[in-house]
Structure 1
C-alpha cells in the first residue's frame, strides 16, 4: 500500500474542502457538499484503513520488532504513529474532525451574523491547529454578531 499517495490525496482533498468552506459565495449550497464530500468521505477512508490495519489485514509499513499498536497505552499509540500507515491514518482522523469543526464554525457564524472576514482566521486556525481555532471562534462569538444566550456552548 502506498501510504505517501494516500496521505497526499487526503491532504489535497481536505484542503479543497477548506477553501470551498472559507470562500464559497453560497454557503447553503457549499456546506452540504463539504460535509459529505469532505468530512464523511474522509471518515469513510479512515474507517476503511484503520479497521483492516488493526485487524492485521494490511501492513502499516513500520519497522519490525516494535511494540504492537493499540489504543490502551502510550507505547501502543506511539507504535501506531511510528509507521507510514499509522501516521497517515492518524492524519486522516485529524483532517476529518477538524473539517467537521470548521463546518460547524462556518454554519454557526453565519447563523449569528458574524462576518465572513472574521470567520476566515478562525477557520484557518482550525485547519492548522484544530482546538485553537475552535477556541478563537468561541471567544469571537462572545464579542461579535448576534450573541446567543450561552455563547460558549455549541448551538
Structure 2
C-alpha cells in the first residue's frame, strides 16, 4: 500500500469515528466502538509504523533519518511521505481520543449535542484549540458539580 493510500485510509477511518461521535447515540457499545475500532486501530497503525521506522523494516519513502531532540531532527522525520503519514496518524489518534473525552465529559455535565458539536469540530480541525475552548466552557459546571457532591 502506498503512503498516500495509507494517509487517506487513516483520514477516512478517523472521520468515520468523528461522525459516529457527533451524530450516533452515545450508548456504551458505540462509545466502545469509537474507542477501540477508531482510536485503538489508529494507535496500532502508528505503533507498527514507528517500530518499522526505528528498526529500518519500513521504508519512509525518502532519505529518512532525524530524531525527536531538535527542531531540525523533527523536520527531517516529517520530510518523507512515511514520516508525514506517521505524524498525521499520531494527530488523528490523539485528537479522536480527546474528542471522545470531550463528548463523554459534556454528556456527564448535561451539555446537549448541539452545544458539543462546535467543540468536537474545533478539536477535529485544530486539536488543542478545541480542547482549550472546551476546558474553558466546562469549568463553571465542573465546579458546580463538585460542590454538589
TM-score normalized by structure 2?
Answer: 0.91
Give matches, 1:44-59, under 5 Å: 44-59=44-59
CA-atom RMSD in angstroms: 1.6
Give matches, 1:58-69, under 5 Å: 58-62=58-62, 64=63, 68-69=65-66
Map of 2:122 onto structure 1:
125
User: How far is the alpha carbon of 1:140 from its aligned partner?
Assistant: 1.7
State the secondary structure of the residue aligned to 1:15: helix
Give matches, 1:101-116, under 5 Å: 101-116=98-113
Separation in 2, partners of 1:10, 1:47: 13
Give yes or no for contact 1:10–1:42 (8 Å, CA) kept in 2: yes
Unaligned runs of 5+ in 1: none
Map of 1:72 onto structure 2:
69
Distance 1:128 1:27, change over 3 A: farther
User: How far is the alpha carbon of 1:55 from its aligned partner?
Assistant: 1.7
Map of 2:19 onto structure 1:
19
4+ runs deviating over 2 angstroms: 25-29
Instruction: For residues 17-57 of structure 1, give each alpha carbon's deviation from its aligned partner in whole angstroms, at most 9, with x where no partner exists.
Output: 00000001244331110000011110000000111112212
User: How far is the alpha carbon of 1:72 from its aligned partner?
Assistant: 1.4
Larger fraction in helix:
2
Separation in 2, partners of 1:135, 1:150: 19
Give yes or no for contact 1:21–1:27 (8 Å, CA) kept in 2: no
State the secondary structure of the residue aligned to 1:149: helix
**Corresponding pairs, count:** 145
Aligned counterpart for 2:94 among listed residues 97, 113, 117? 97
